[in-house]
Amino acid sequence: MTKQEGYRKKRLDRGIKARSDTLFAVASWKEILYLMIPRFLPVAVLLLLPLFLGNYWNKVLVYACIYGLLALSWDFLASCGLFSLGQSLFFGVGAYIAGGLNYYFHLPPLITIPIATIAGGILCSALLTPVMRLRGVYFAMVTLILPLLLMKIIETTGVFGGTQGLSSLSGFPHEMLSIYIAVVGFLACLFLFRRIINTDYGLILRAIRDDDRSVMSGGINIYWRKSQALFIAGAAGGFAGALMTHHYQFLGMSVFALDYSILPVAAVALGGQGTFAGAAIGSMLLVPLSEALRALGGLRVAIYCGVLIVSIILLPEGFFHYLARKYHQFEKVVKIG
Amino acid sequence: MSLLIYGLINSVILALYTVGFSLTYGISGLANFAHGALYILSGFVAWSLMNAAGLPFAVSGILAVLITAAIGFAFYWVLILRVRGIPLAELIVTFAAGVAILELMTWKGFYGLRYSLPVFVNGGVEIAGVGIDYQRLIVLASGLVLVIGLWLFVHHTRIGLAFRAMAQNERTALSIGIESDWIGALSLAFGAALAAIAAMVVLPLGVMESTIGYDVLIYALAVAIVGGLESTLGMIAGSFLIGYGQIAAARYIGAKWMVIVPLAAIVFVLSVKPSGIFGKFKELEERV
Amino acid sequence: MRRGAMIFSGIFLLAILVVLPTSQAATVKPIVIGVPTSLYTPFGRDGLKAVNLAVKEINAKGGVKVGTQRRPFKVVIADTRGGEPNTPVHDALMAYERLITKEKPDAIVVGAFRSEVLIAGMDLVAKYKIPQLSTIAQSPGFQKKFMKDPKKYKYLFRVTTDALVDATYLNNTLDILKKKFGLKNAYFIYQDTLWAKAFSGLMSRHCKKTGWKIVGFDGYAAGATDFSPALSKARESKVQLIGMVWDVPLGAGVFAKQYAAMKVPALLIGFIPPMASPMAVKTLGPGVEYSMSIEFPVGASLPLKKLPKTGDFLSKFKKEYGALPEAAAVNSSAYDAVFILANAIERTGSLNPDKLAAALEKTDYAGVSGRIRFNKQHIAVFGTKDPKKEGVCVIFQWQKDSAGKLKRVPVYPAFLAEGKIQLPPWMKK
């Protein structure tokens, strides 16, 4: 659409949006559908998808869910003002806890995954407690460096199999089971986070992001709250790491690789910040895209980066916000004056 | 003695890696994650000019610096400008652009032993019983010249003064007629040029490979953070701390601990003094 | 904004369209060989070239006889990027698995570069039951894992040498150096990865046993770019011999340049790809003279007069690609692997993986790298005695010929040697 002189675009809420915002939502099936479709359709699609995809694309789906979990955990931290560049820390810690327990103590995945989730969360918040007072870019740098540091330590000292990693870990009894654990875990995490952030508890977290000093003056210990947020985000990342370890039955120090830190952030940047749904959509777009580009061979990552740059420049607000606006509002051209 | 000399060389190399990154960040607050990619890109540009166009190294080196600066300038104008002020988008765009540059170079086949820049002068001397080659002495000298030159530049030229004005207060700078985007683009161009100069003197020490880009970025980040992000003095202090730390670790603990030094330094310094050794991040200090 | 969205979706669609597979029609169904490897490393790159060369030769003769039908080979590749430090293993495995499920190869050659990927990939190969002849990764972890469940991993073979064999060659050379020139101070530098550590460990243990004085045994991280601590230490403590094992091109290149620049008066020996490469003089200058390097197995980059097959392979390679292979290792193994595969297919007359694996076990093939047979752990047998009985390696030294040109001269073992080891003049007292 070309710009017309003397006119401007005006956005208005759709009628159905206004109606379904209130109690009238229950009055008609149309409004109910309007509210339900964006929530239930993706869930249904995700739950049914594994039945129709092939072996290979199911792996991609698991991959997407795992990156999705990391992106959600990133978005959760960002919601309380912690801008992290080290999701691979959470991922790697969870992976090493689960893999170590399985390799040295032969515990089955159904025990190691919950342990890795909880212990991963605790360990990550403990590791990051000393630097929790940092803000902005400084916190980001420390989180970027920490996983690399752990990776080098494993490489140097040779603990947990060193550079060679631990292989032949036990997997899930059935392929489908692991796929559904990934999908359900991802969806559960998505809705749980959305719920948490809208409770009073989440309100405090968001307030810390917006103005931490006013929260402090309200008599709330923001560092304790931040470490709780770190625990929640760490647990999500740890779950993803443990899942990946058992899914591939292999654990190496590359779980701390930069990929697991940068890709989730890219997913959020693509999908849109602050709503979790954006993070989910972003990872569901990015990971399959990256796999599809594999056919291009050597140029794959370069093109991938190109697509990422172009989409962020064209839609800086993120994909989700754009979709949500189109869904709720319509535009019309009005005359200025 | 060799510890002193090679520690010094290592520190200067680290400072050369960082100076461009820190300049760009100091002026326009833009963390250029494509810094490492620009560094190695300039090396390949120089190599291609030498081997495809048959130019001597001196000419192609200077051309490579200019070309890299132009790329940095265009980079700001085409990409960064559109996402300016959104830290998340800035980060992803610069990082993705950096990775894209590195990947394109890998795809073009820029790896392997063929790709190596010649040293300026062959041979070496012995200083206090320590053998050292001329190229490393040139690295030392150019590090010194660069720092002094930079200081003179930002204190005594119009553009340099505008840079400092931007760094100190962007709005006031705007109100006295300094165009913020123009200076931002210039700062990125300067950062890129500095990366290229560093590449021209440091790369002849070894072979070239696109993965060096990641290392340079990590080192630049490490030095800049340890020293304090926008302080030149801090940058020098940071590079000396890490540079000597590495050589000492290699000598007394074990060579494989070298890589851990910069990372450990970051975690340690930041948990003790969150804005780096010489950082002057007021807002941050108040909140600690 | 709408325009932006349209451009965005346009690009997105374009990306998807590009990705859509194109259909291919063929009259005789070719035998598909998968080459999943890290093309970024010289080993992967030249290995692939060697495979293509072998395939071209076989196809020119009409292909491989499967039962009654002659079928050509077809090579499909996947760049796992496994050799690059930033690639997660999972990502490399995805590329591996994609190759297997999409292209449905009948066999895999070359394989992973990093031991981590090779070992993690073993389960994958066993799951899809595809015979694999790996030719790069030398980790002893392969045998260890193989012995855990030989039945499950029976599709896996390794055509190239093991670190153990390589070290034996170097140890024997060290003995000669000690006996002939009376050298006794040694310093070892290795890349801190499993196989290099095992390799240099074998060398230093041998030295201790035979009366060398070990001045240092230093592991450097694979990404290291400064070796001055070790080199200056070596210089100060009057080391006469530096043993070095390093496979990442970057660090090795820096080391080679730094070694020449710092003028350490010690003989260099080991596995250092940039110094062993045919292009070493061009990239590193005249400083490479007198340095010694192992090539495993023979025929990887150096034509040997006493093994004409190596010359044949390398001159074909040079004719096809315009230059000799870059790395002094494993290229001839990749070439041999294709012939071993063709050989096994013809013997069993089928592409059934179980039958093929059984046929591969019985391999007895006289290739470029010597006579190839597999032992119980599915590893090609290499030794130091006789190329007619086993696979062999060679050690060579950069020496000036009569015209003053630097050349690589094989010096050990005796049945391959074309010259004698020379001691640099600056080491003689």
CATH number at residue B180: 1.10.3470
Judge whether C194 is closer than 8 Å to chain A, CB to CB: yes
Asked whether the beta carbons of residue A309 and residue B93 sit closer than 8 angstroms, the reply is: yes
Q: Which two tokens stand for residue C46?
A: 């030249």
Whether A117 and A180 map to the same domain: the answer is yes
The yes-or-no verdict on residue C64 having pLDDT over 80 is: yes
Query: Which whole number is the average pLDDT over A64-91?
Result: 90
Whether A45 and A166 map to the same domain: the answer is no
Domains of chain C by start residue, with CATH: 28-161+310-373 (3.40.50.2300), 164-295+393-427 (3.40.50.2300)
Q: What value does the mean pLDDT of chain C take?
A: 82
Pick the residue from chain B with its C-alpha nearest to A130.
Answer: B271
The helix or strand, by DSSP H or E, that contains position A166, with its residue range, turns out to be strand A166-167
The yes-or-no verdict on residue A3 having pLDDT over 60 is: no
pLDDT in tens, C120-163: 888 888 888 899 988 887 777 788 888 888 888 889 888 887 77
Judge whether A311 is closer than 8 Å to chain C, CB to CB: yes
Q: Which residues of chain C neighbour A307 with C-beta distances below 8 Å?
A: 11-12, 15
pLDDT level of residue B282 (50, 70, 90 thresholds): very low
Whether A102 and A221 map to the same domain: the answer is yes
Tell me the nearest-neighbour CA distance from B259 into chain C, angstroms: 7
Mutation site for B-interface testing, chosen from C80, C225, C281 by largest number of B Cβ within 10 Å: C225
Whether A32 and A166 map to the same domain: the answer is no
Q: How far apart are CA A249 and CA C123, in angstroms?
A: 9
Whether A74 and A20 map to the same domain: the answer is no
Give me the interface pTM, i.e. the ipTM: 0.78
Chain A neighbors (3+ CB pairs < 8 Å): B, C
DSSP class per residue in A98-123: HHHHHHHH---HHHHHHHHHHHHHHH
Whether A62 and A48 map to the same domain: the answer is no
- Residue range(s) defining the domain that contains residue B164: 2-287
Q: Is residue A2 part of a domain?
A: no
Whether A46 and A71 map to the same domain: the answer is no
pLDDT at C21: 44
Q: Are C188 and C203 in contact (CB under 8 A)?
A: yes
Asked whether the beta carbons of residue B258 and residue C326 sit closer than 8 angstroms, the reply is: no
- Selecting from C45, C228, C285 the residue whose C-beta is nearest the C-beta of B2 gives C228
Whether A21 and A157 map to the same domain: the answer is no
The yes-or-no verdict on residue B286 having pLDDT over 50 is: no
Tell me the nearest-neighbour CA distance from C303 into chain A, angstroms: 32
pLDDT at A121: 93
pLDDT level of residue A122 (50, 70, 90 thresholds): very high
Asked whether the beta carbons of residue A152 and residue B266 sit closer than 8 angstroms, the reply is: no
pLDDT in tens, B171-209: 888 888 888 888 889 889 999 999 999 999 888 887 787
Give the count of domains, chain A. 2
Whether A106 and A47 map to the same domain: the answer is no
pLDDT in tens, A294-316: 777 667 778 888 888 888 888 87
Asked whether the beta carbons of residue B133 and residue C262 sit closer than 8 angstroms, the reply is: yes
Asked whether the beta carbons of residue C89 and residue A250 sit closer than 8 angstroms, the reply is: yes
For the ranges A293-297, C17-21, C219-223, C322-326, the maximum mean pLDDT occurs at C322-326
- Residue range(s) defining the domain that contains residue A45: 12-52
pLDDT at B72: 92
pLDDT in tens, C323-355: 888 877 788 888 999 999 999 998 888 888 899
What share of chain C has pLDDT > 70, as a percent? 92
Kindly give, in sequence order, each residue whose CB lies less than 8 Å from that of residue C332, ignoring residues fewer than 6 positions away.
C50, C297, C298, C299, C300, C310, C313, C367, C368, C369
How crowded is residue C282: how many other Cβ atoms within 10 Å of its Cβ?
11
pLDDT in tens, B132-176: 778 888 888 998 898 888 888 878 888 888 887 877 777 888 888
pLDDT level of residue B112 (50, 70, 90 thresholds): low
Q: Which two tokens stand for residue B157?
A: 């030229």
pLDDT level of residue C25 (50, 70, 90 thresholds): very low
pLDDT at C22: 43
Q: How far apart are CA C253 and CA B209, in angstroms?
A: 10
The yes-or-no verdict on residue C9 having pLDDT over 70 is: no
The yes-or-no verdict on residue B212 having pLDDT over 50 is: yes
pLDDT level of residue A235 (50, 70, 90 thresholds): very high
Chain A: which residues have CB within 8 Å of chain B? 83, 85, 130-131, 133-138, 141-142, 144-146, 148-149, 152-153, 155-156, 212-213, 258, 262, 265-266, 268-269, 273, 298-302, 305-306, 308-309, 312-313, 316
Judge whether B107 is closer than 8 Å to chain A, CB to CB: yes
Q: How far apart are CA B216 and CA B211, in angstroms?
A: 9
For the ranges A125-139, A247-261, C332-346, the maximum mean pLDDT occurs at C332-346
pLDDT at C26: 46
The yes-or-no verdict on residue B280 having pLDDT over 70 is: no
Q: How far apart are CA B70 and CA B49, in angstroms?
A: 16
Three state DSSP letters for chain C: CHHHHHHHHHHHHHHHHHHCCCCCCCCCCCEEEEEEECCCCHHHHHHHHHHHHHHHHHHHCCCEEECCEEECEEEEEEECCCCCCCCCHHHHHHHHHHHHHHHCCCEEEECCCCHHHHHHHHHHHHHHCCCEEECCCCCCHHHHHHHHCCCCCCCEEECCCCHHHHHHHHHHHHHHHHHHHCCCEEEEEEECCHHHHHHHHHHHHHHHHCCCEEEEEEEECCCCCCCHHHHHHHHHCCCCEEEEECCCHHHHHHHHHHHHHHCCCCEEEEECHHHHCCCHHHHHHHHHCCCEEEEECCCCCCCECCEHHHHHHHHHHHHHHCCCCCCCECHHHHHHHHHHHHHHHHHHCCCCHHHHHHHHHCCEEEECCEEEEECCCCEECECCCCCCCCECCEEEEEEECCCCCEEEEEEECCCCCCCCCCCCHHHCC
Pick the residue from chain A with its C-alpha nearest to C11.
Answer: A307
pLDDT level of residue B73 (50, 70, 90 thresholds): very high
The angle subtended at Cα A85 by Cα C114 and Cα B23, nearest 5°, is 100
pLDDT at A334: 84
Asked whether the beta carbons of residue C79 and residue A297 sit closer than 8 angstroms, the reply is: yes
Whether A22 and A59 map to the same domain: the answer is no
What share of chain B has pLDDT > 70, as a percent? 90
CATH number at residue A205: 1.10.3470
Tell me the nearest-neighbour CA distance from A337 into chain B, angstroms: 29
pLDDT at C95: 84
Judge whether C147 is closer than 8 Å to chain A, CB to CB: no
Give the count of domains, chain B. 1
Q: Is residue A4 part of a domain?
A: no
